[in-house]
A and B are shown apart, each in its own frame.
Chain A
Amino acid sequence: DAEITQSPRHKITETGRQVTLACHQTWNHNNMFWYRQDLGHGLRLIHYSYGVHDTNKGEVSDGYSVSRSNTEDLPLTLESAASSQTSVYFCASQGFSGSNHEQFFGPGTRLTVL
Chain B
Amino acid sequence: GENVEQHPSTLSVQEGDSAVIKCTYSDSASNYFPWYKQELGKGPQLIIDIRSNVGEKKDQRIAVTLNKTAKHFSLHITETQPEDSAVYFCAASLGVAGANSKLTFGKGITLSVRP
Contacts and interface: CB of A to CB of B under 8 A. Distances in A.
B104 interface: yes
Given A43-B44, A43-B89, A90-B44, A103 B103 contact: yes
Interface in B18-33: 32
Contacts, number: 65
Nearest to B45: A105
Interface in A57-114: 58-59, 90, 92, 94-98, 100-103, 105-108
B105 interface: yes
Interface residues of B, number: 25
B115 interface: no
Nearest to B98: A96
Contacts of A45: 102-104
Contact of B107 (A31, A42, A92): A42
10 contacts: A33-B103, A42-B6, A42-B89, A42-B108, A50-B98, A59-B1, A59-B104, A97-B97, A102-B34, A103-B103
Interface of B: 1, 6, 32, 34, 36, 41-46, 49, 89, 96-99, 101-108
Interface of A: 31, 33, 35, 40-45, 48, 50, 56, 58-59, 90, 92, 94-98, 100-103, 105-108
